[in-house]
Amino acid sequence: MQDMYDGGLDDVAESELVTRYGPFRAVAFRDPVDGHEHLALVRGDPRGREEVLVRVHSECLTGDLFGALRCECGAQLRSALDAIVEEGCGVLVYLRGHEGRGIGLVAKIRTHVLQDEQGLDTVDSATALGLPVDVRDFGPAARVLRHLGVASVRLLSNSADKVRGLTGHGVAVTGRVPLLEPVDEHNVRYLTAKRDRLGHDLPHLDSVRGLR
């Protein structure tokens, strides 16, 4: 469905941000629809460019900040930044309020308990608590990409749903670039559920044996 909000971003702050990956333009903004403060890290000048390399990354405190191994979120964040730096031009949009595919941090930790104690996967552990599987909205990413003047994107993602989430808000996605992280005993159940239950394209799982 096309994004019904056609206004711009009013509450925006920009500065240079030097990171271990090099310098970026940091574009912080308060989204007018969801009210959250999000961040876009911009490398080079994407204004007016086609097929800009873009990662839309959902907040994952445990994976992104603390390096939790049960998911591949932190690894994907780092790989995406590396890819954008290598490309020389690109955008990483970090969406807050997306913790646990939108159910929040407390609820996500509760799902971990069910996964560890009852063997439920990431989908069934959410529904067992009466929670939705995925309530993320990618409208904020679409709005900041328009603010940055990005004409079209190549999306760093394994998820066709994320592509649909952006195109539904008017972003032209010309291609999807895989972000395949190594599989180990800590994340294999999570990745398998993402492939089998959530439709993520994870072909490297086919060669994994004996980890489940």
Is 146 catalytic? The answer is: no
> Tokens 């989204």 correspond to what residue?
31
Is 6 catalytic? The answer is: no
| Residue 172: CB atoms within 10 Å | 13
Q: Which of 134, 176, 195, 201 is catalytic?
A: 134
> How far does Cα 61 stand from its chain's mean position?
12
For 129-171, the three-class secondary structure string (H helix, E strand, C coil) is: CCCCCCCCCCHHHHHHHHHCCCCCEEEECCEHHHHHHHHCCCC
Q: Which of 43, 101, 110, 136 is catalytic?
A: 136
Question: CB of 128 within 8 A of CB of 148?
Answer: no
Read off the tokens for 209.
Answer: 């044996």
Read off the tokens for 171.
Answer: 């972003």
Cα maximum dimension of the chain: 52
User: What separation in angstroms does the CA of 25 have from each of 16, 18, 97, 166, 175?
Assistant: 5, 9, 22, 22, 24
Among all residues, which ones are annotated catalytic? 134, 136
